[in-house]
Homo-oligomer: A and B are copies of this chain.
């Protein structure tokens, strides 16, 4: 997936560089294998969207960097821990075009390294969060686990409607991005109403972000997204475009047969995607993305200082534009 253009996060660029440095420092282990896997995960990179949003929201009130680093680092470590466990669960071979930890070191070491990163995250957080903030963070991990378990339970089930999908996306993705923004606003000691608005902004960005991911799984090339096209369909994850096509395609019965098939051939996946493309599922899904982004923009507190506001608006624009 494409990285965010540097200038979007310009005003927290130095903070993000410090987060990067701290990530390498905190994961150091006397056990070589733990080091190797953790460094691989940090190097695999990613957008650092969550700590960036945390920092942007906190910088509204410009507290000093050292106060913000622990939570920014903890947020990214939790994200990394959930990714490495998700890859185990999805049997994913690649992420962002690189081999996953589970493909390279096996599922078992990956489960343990995920646990290690969770513990490191909570170790980091002791320095930078009060009880209320720690509670937000632990609650959102529980929510993500619940979302992933629901996704597992509902895999290959064509009887899911859009409301089920939205709830799942909220639990899996949007709630954590919402919490990142909320925690940033709390670290920035903002007013309660501003905290609530920035949380709402993060939630809507998260929804838009995940729906876009789900669209790209169907429309982008394998080279662009760094994993096989139609991966979700093959894994039984029923996403918005598929739900739309199951309801609106003349070939809905055939698509349903494909969705319930737990051992799909490449041909099945290809035909499934064809049926989705035969409807206006993609247009419909993008329209939902744009609704969430508009809501995100409208949620920004009017009291935000201008550079922070501009950056948060630019994040919304970028989520709407990315094509891979």
Contact = CB atoms under 8 A, between A and B. Distances in A.
B122 A152 contact: no
Interface stretch (A8-16, A49-57, A106-114, A244-252): A106-114
Interface stretch (A126-134, A200-208, A213-221, A276-284): A126-134
A138 B115 contact: no
A76 interface: no
Contact of A119 (B34, B85, B142): B142
Contacts of A126: 131, 134-135, 138
Contacts of A29: 142, 146
A116 interface: yes
A118 B115 contact: yes
B116 A88 contact: no
A164 interface: no
A106 to B, nearest CB: 8
Instruction: Count copies of this chain in the complex.
Output: 2
A31 interface: yes
A65 to B, nearest CB: 20
A153 interface: yes
A152 B105 CA distance: 11
A178 to B, nearest CB: 16
A108 B88 CA distance: 8
A30 B145 CA distance: 12
Contact of A145 (B89, B106, B112, B122): B112
A139 interface: yes
A253 interface: no
Contacts of A106: 152
Interface in A263-320: none
Contact of A149 (B31, B85, B89, B150): B31
